[in-house]
Structure 1
Amino acid sequence: MATSVTAPPEDAPRTDPSRRGWRRLPVVHQLRQSVGLQRGMLVAGLMLTGLFLLTALFAPLLAPYGHAQLRDADGPFGAQQPPSAEHWLGTTVGGYDVLSRVVHGSRTAILVILVAIVLSLFAGVLLGLVSGYFGGWLDRVLVVVCDAVYAFPSLLLAIVMAIVISGGQSSLFGGILAAAISITVVFIPQYFRVVRAETVRIKNEAFVESARVVGAGHWRIMTRHVLRNATRTLPLILTLNASEAILTLAGLGFLGFGIEPTAAAEWGYDLNAALSDVTSGIWWTSIFPGLAIVLVVLGLTLVGESLNDLADPRLRSRRAAGSADTAETPVVPGGALDAGPGGLDGIEETHR
């Protein structure tokens, strides 16, 4: 007896692909997946990080004065002035407005983070991909070099690189570039290790062997099939490295190897200049730059740790057993291994 198939009624609810699409966005998906304290940490981190990004984006509009401005129409600001209606957070020992320096310092920090992460991503991913895919003597040399750099104290290495690149201090562009390159040298081994380990594992998968059989070249296999799967965990590392970049930049500025105060505002330099004020009871010149560093690092760290917990099935808190969102959640943000456009069946078609 044949079984009849009943068509769904026309008024039955249908899933909107566009709505499901935005729900699968990286941060949105992890936010919907999180529960309890884990969600609270992620939301708090996103709020602090969003505030930092908005402050850096609208710094010229939010800051009442320029980062190196010492006077207005009424005359000089004066050094070490307490918080008042004219200067909400007071003035520094050099006569700068503290609020303006803190706000403009966020723009310097975001520029250094962007340049450092872009440079370290490009170099670390490329070296890790080549080293893991080809192996041999090149792999051994790169592993030894990266292990040696990784074992070196990161701040000391950044100081040495800052001295070599800019002589210790520089203009806005030179200082940002010097600090970014210094941080890049520290970050490259981290991306190299992650990408190399994933590449060594993925290059032996069945879809990679299938691509070799149909005649695909090394470069095509590396870029179309290996790269997209080897970089799935990098968003987790990016957030943690961003907070480390903030601390390294602040350390360079605190030790006097940062950016000149007339070129750009930098929180580490302002903390160094406020050391003598602390013993004199002048608290406002040091507490606000230090608070900015703490809040930004805390926000980025909360986001990174929350994403890391959600990516690890041993740490992730699951919803009800019948939840479709949780059941379909991948172990890592990038999802399961992807053979490329068209899946395993489309490998041959992409190389015809």
Structure 2
Amino acid sequence: MSADTEEHGADAPGGDAGGANGAGGAPVSPRALARRRRAEALRRFAREYTRNRAGLVGLLALSAIVLLALFAPLLVDQAELTVTGAPGAAYEPPSAEFPLGTDNFGRSVLDLIIWGSRVSLTVGFLATVVSVVLGTLVGVTAGHFGASGGPAGRVVSSVLMRVTDWFLVLPTLVLAVALAAVLPRGTGTIIIAIGLTVWPATARLVRAQTLAVEARPFVERARALGGGHTHVMAWHVLPNVMPVVLAQTTLLVATSIIAESTLAFLGVGDPTTISWGGILEAARTAGAISSGIWWYMIPPGLAIAAVALSFTLCGRALESVINPRLREQR
């Protein structure tokens, strides 16, 4: 709930039936009133989200995949994921023992996919955190100083946005491959490479939202009362742009997972871990495409597509809840 909504909610005639008084006319503390309003806002959010069927489907599918990744150590014997501990023969087709067949070493493809979900989701989430934090910081700073920082602030805003534009025009995949090739190979490198290449879109979006928030009366009152730049950005601007950031986050996770899979498929991923992209790269190297070993190639690709689609459905549902115009178009 935005700050200006909270300010005017209590002043509206008959707007808050129990705003100042609780049951029996007892006075309610400001903290209790704030908690009540937050709880009501969450209930409204949940009601609007559950009306979006596509969003519910994406949320259920995503929850199932996340639970599968969390319980992977209980479902898969790690010893059977090694080359020497493979339980089957090479390239066995799908059967009752191996529902998705085996790879060129005799390992169960289903076990590889279940275990690979841990790395793919971890990289997707952490790379998104890096991207969203960097993009939000740049976007809020550029928007705030561009709107109320004076001549010096506009210079800071212009410099930040020119850097953002420079990253935007660079080919994202090429830049990520270059970073992953230069830095030491590992999961941390992949996270940094992806996070440093997909943040500009978030920065642009947050800056636009920040400019809209900066024009609202409650921000002007905060400045008139002596609020500094840090106070205004942290307590007035950032809470009002967080809904947009949250929606952007769900969309970026899908992008990050696809980027990790692409880097692994190109051979610049972490060779010591099992991920969906790594499975595809291993299948390509082993010649599964030319040999017609479809069960080695299709399942990891479908897993990547399913997670990306789930996050996209959740992100679109969040956008429709946040933006009333999108709700009207459903």
Q: Do the aligned partners of 1:48 and 1:299 also contact (CA within 8 Å) in 2? A: yes
Is 1:235 paired with 2:246?
yes
Give the match's secondary structure for 2:118. helix
Report deviation, 1:303: 1.5
Is 1:46 paired with 2:59?
yes
Q: 1:114 to 1:219 in 2, by over 3 A?
A: same
Q: 1:94 to 1:150 in 2, by over 3 A?
A: farther
Q: Do the aligned partners of 2:132 and 2:249 also contact (CA within 8 Å) in 1? A: no
Report deviation, 1:183: 1.3
Is 1:266 paired with 2:280?
no
| Match among 264, 279, 291 for residue 253 of structure 1 | 264
| Match among 292, 296, 319 for residue 308 of structure 1 | 319
Report deviation, 1:227: 1.1
Give the match's secondary structure for 2:100. coil
Give 2:7's aligned residue. Answer: none
Q: Pick the structure with more helix per residue.
A: 2
Is 1:287 paired with 2:298?
yes
Percent of paired sites with the same residue: 36
Distance in 1, Cα, partners of 2:210 & 2:319: 20
Distance in 2, Cα, partners of 1:117 & 1:187: 8
Report deviation, 1:204: 3.1
Distance in 2, Cα, partners of 1:122 & 1:310: 23
Distance in 2, Cα, partners of 1:40 & 1:207: 36
Distance in 2, Cα, partners of 1:257 & 1:43: 35
Q: 1:87 to 1:26 in 2, by over 3 A?
A: farther
Report deviation, 1:66: 4.6
Report deviation, 1:232: 2.3
Cα shift readout 1:192-213 (whole Å, capped 9, x = no counterpart): 1122222222223221221222
Distance in 2, Cα, partners of 1:26 & 1:86: 47
Report deviation, 1:40: 2.6
Distance in 1, Cα, partners of 2:80 & 2:251: 28
Give the match's secondary structure for 2:298. helix
Q: Do the aligned partners of 1:65 and 1:97 also contact (CA within 8 Å) in 2? A: no
RMSD: 2.6
Is 1:160 paired with 2:178?
yes
Q: 1:288 to 1:22 in 2, by over 3 A?
A: farther
Q: Do the aligned partners of 1:131 and 1:142 also contact (CA within 8 Å) in 2? A: yes
Matches within 5 A, 1:102-141: 102-135=113-146, 136-141=154-159
Matches within 5 A, 1:46-85: 46-66=59-79, 68-72=81-85, 77-85=88-96
Q: Do the aligned partners of 1:70 and 1:76 also contact (CA within 8 Å) in 2? A: no
Q: Do the aligned partners of 2:120 and 2:257 also contact (CA within 8 Å) in 1? A: yes
Q: 1:49 to 1:227 in 2, by over 3 A?
A: same
Distance in 2, Cα, partners of 1:69 & 1:183: 28
Q: 1:27 to 1:81 in 2, by over 3 A?
A: farther
Q: 1:230 to 1:305 in 2, by over 3 A?
A: closer
Distance in 1, Cα, partners of 2:120 & 2:289: 24
Report deviation, 1:279: 2.5
Distance in 2, Cα, partners of 1:209 & 1:310: 27
Give the letter aligned to residue 45 of structure 1: G
Give the letter aligned to residue 253 of structure 2: A
Distance in 1, Cα, partners of 2:113 & 2:232: 47
Q: Do the aligned partners of 1:90 and 1:98 also contact (CA within 8 Å) in 2? A: yes
Cα shift readout 1:183-231 (whole Å, capped 9, x = no counterpart): 1112221221122222222223221221222222221121111111122
Q: Do the aligned partners of 1:93 and 1:273 also contact (CA within 8 Å) in 2? A: no
Distance in 1, Cα, partners of 2:107 & 2:40: 45
Give 2:219's aligned residue. Answer: 208
**Unpaired runs of at least 5, structure 2:** 1-23, 25-34, 147-153
